[in-house]
Amino acid sequence: MEKMNIRSLLYLFVSLISCIATASSNSGLSSHYYDRICPEALPTIKRVVEDALAQEQRMGASLLRLHFHDCFVNGCDGSILLDQTPTIDSEKNAAPNANSARGFEVIDKIKDEVDKVCGRPVVSCADILAVAARDSVVALGGPSWKVRLGRRDSTTASQSAANANIPAPSMNLPALIKNFEDQGLDEEDLVVLSGAHTLGFAQCRNFRDRIYNETNIDPAFVSHLQTICPQVGGDSRLAPLDPTPNSFDVKYFSSLASKKGLLSSDQALLDGGETAELVLKYSGDAEEFWEDFAESMIKMGDIKPLTGNRGLSSSYYDRVCPEALPTIKRVVEDALAQERRMGASLLRLHFHDCFVNGCDGSILLDQTPTIDSEKNAAPNANSARGFEVIDKIKDEVDKVCGCPVVSCADILAVAARDSVVALGGPSWKVRLGRRDSTTASQSAANANIPTPSMNLPALIKNFEDQGLDEEDLVVLSGAHTLGFAQCRNFRDRIYNETNIDPAFASHLQTICPQVGGDSRLAPLDPTPNSFDVKYFSSLASKKGLLSSDQALLDGGETAELVLKYSGDAEEFWEDFAESMIKMGDIKPLTGNRGEIRNNCRKVNSEY
């Protein structure tokens, strides 16, 4: 008995140490990242930045703004720098950046110089943006901080995400708070980072409505600005964001206190208790502002960097909790034994999670005053299901592991694989080690999850935004070999489209009337509970249930893949496994980013 007690205590101790080690692991970003790889990298960036500011001091604000606008669009990944091409929908053309974002030539110059001193391209463009922002602040009299480095560069850009996620100059305080919360930033970060507007200028188009229509503004300040910005025309004329636009000081905050904020979104900071208190505090305490600005810049720089997914491994839980994966498999199999359709539902949850700011478990978060749940987004509302199964898995896994070490995001990924296997499909090694998001974004879910009405160009673009190609599009669409769709999602197809088998359309019209019956179900292929290739053969016969499925036959490469898979299950299985691994690698949170939730429906601070 005594030996058993000692063993039990040792087991609990090891489990506790595993929990602590898992929770405190490193994200891969380090301020020393280039110290050995290329020690001249950071001095070179500093030199080029200082040269640029010697020619034009305003460039400092422009470089700082580039880093902001990069980080707020799917993380600090350099995506803002990508030019428009047939496959890149450049963020430069988004409303917050078009004819406004600048400094790209300076970044190009830095990149050229750094690659020369390093002897090869080892410093990412994303890291250059982060360091150039810091060096700009320092050059204009502001604080310094240790920039955490090691980011990699995105291979995609998203104009739609830029339009949705970069805060607009017309935003009110609740919208600003929500916008920053979506990035994992709090109200203090909002005020502190808004203080970057101690540098730079804004265009007339961005403050015209404020100076002609708003009342919370100093009358003399209004009169002066109206000489710069007429009611009609002069959209690109500039006014300074504070009285000293080339000096990093606290005059931005004292301007707000005097109702002389240039932008509506700046003046809005005085509309709330905590934010107003911070504005007034910083207006009289430069040292406090400097310290907090440095901390918030480090925090913003940690927004979903790409780090090569070095933290993901199929053996991640082998030592931490070897019973984790067998437990997930058991609960999934039990759920499918009760209802085979649940397999498709669990697979869909993983898809819809990964397509919204990466595979981070955000789809599982319930609505709260601080969480704008993705469950309420159009693609998920009254449709996404299987949440109770995920809850059951989480409970069982935490029991066998002795503490919460397995993330909800990893549970989604493994449950998707185990569902496919249980319904007769292929297996693959799921890369693990994701952490859970502390935010959700209903707007991003509405923007990024592909809709059943999308045509082929829209589908290709949607997948490209996630770093997935046309083969991935066809292969992952093959997940529709499982499951059902609601009448509301195929009604237009069966009554209005012509690329559909007439008998198939007639049969579906008995299920889905022109009016009513929105939630009635039809199978996505003839065998909705078996992982096979009948989905593809159905498309070849013009019997695709959804417009977005049948659209795969509208393109050369995608049509060829549909026809190939319709006759080659082995090839489909192999490619499906590869594409699922690729999708599972979309911007996971690793290291100290995010958290391991105690309850998949709630962030830990609200548990």
Render pLDDT for 474-525 as a digit per residue (tens, 0 to 9): 999 999 999 999 999 999 999 999 999 999 999 999 999 999 999 999 999 9
Checking if the pLDDT of 425 tops 60, the result is yes
Give residue 544's pLDDT: 97
Between CA 531 and CA 344 the distance in angstroms is 10
Q: Residues 420-432: what's their mean pLDDT?
A: 96
Between CA 48 and CA 129 the distance in angstroms is 12
Binding residues: 353, 356, 358, 360, 362, 374, 450, 480-481, 525, 527, 532
- Cα-Cα end-to-end distance for the chain: 37
Q: Residues 247-272: what's their mean pLDDT?
A: 96
The secondary element (H helix, E strand) that includes residue 201 is strand 201-203
Give residue 183's pLDDT: 92
Banded pLDDT at 28 (limits 50, 70, 90): low
Give residue 607's pLDDT: 74
Domains, the chain, with CATH or none = 41-150 (1.10.520.10), 172-301 (1.10.420.10), 317-445+588-606 (1.10.520.10), 468-578 (1.10.420.10)
Between CA 183 and CA 168 the distance in angstroms is 15
Q: Residues 43-65: what's their mean pLDDT?
A: 98
Binding residues for substrate: 450
Q: Are 336 and 420 in contact (CB under 8 A)?
A: no
Between CA 315 and CA 313 the distance in angstroms is 5
pTM: 0.62
Per-residue CA distances from 176 to 242, 266, 300, 307 (Å): 20, 10, 15, 28
Between CA 305 and CA 536 the distance in angstroms is 37
Banded pLDDT at 343 (limits 50, 70, 90): very high
Between CA 290 and CA 195 the distance in angstroms is 10
Q: Are 596 and 406 in contact (CB under 8 A)?
A: yes
Between CA 78 and CA 66 the distance in angstroms is 9
Between CA 463 and CA 474 the distance in angstroms is 10
Give residue 16's pLDDT: 43
Q: Mean pLDDT of all residues in the chain?
A: 93
Binding residues for Ca(2+): 353, 356, 358, 360, 362, 374, 481, 525, 527, 532
Give residue 488's pLDDT: 96
Q: Residues 199-224: what's their mean pLDDT?
A: 97
Give residue 459's pLDDT: 96
Give residue 326's pLDDT: 97
Q: Residues 395-413: what's their mean pLDDT?
A: 95
**pLDDT over 90, % of the chain:** 87
Residue ranges with strand state E in 392-491: 484-486
> How would you class 367 by CB atoms within 10 Å of its CB: exposed for 0-12, middle for 13-18, buried for 19 or more?
middle
Q: Residues 257-281: what's their mean pLDDT?
A: 95
Q: Are 454 and 489 in contact (CB under 8 A)?
A: no
Q: Residues 309-337: what's their mean pLDDT?
A: 88
Give residue 26's pLDDT: 36
Catalytic residue numbers read 352
Longest dimension (CA), the chain: 88
Between CA 451 and CA 576 the distance in angstroms is 21
Tally of CB atoms within 10 A around 6: 10
Banded pLDDT at 308 (limits 50, 70, 90): low
Identify the CA nearest to 237 among candidates 262, 207, 263, 203.
203
- The pair phi, psi for residue 602, each rounded to 5°, is -140, 145
- The pair phi, psi for residue 132, each rounded to 5°, is -65, -35
Per-residue pLDDT of 448-460, as tens digits, reads 999 999 999 999 9
Q: Are 410 and 335 in contact (CB under 8 A)?
A: no
Q: Residues 153-165: what's their mean pLDDT?
A: 95
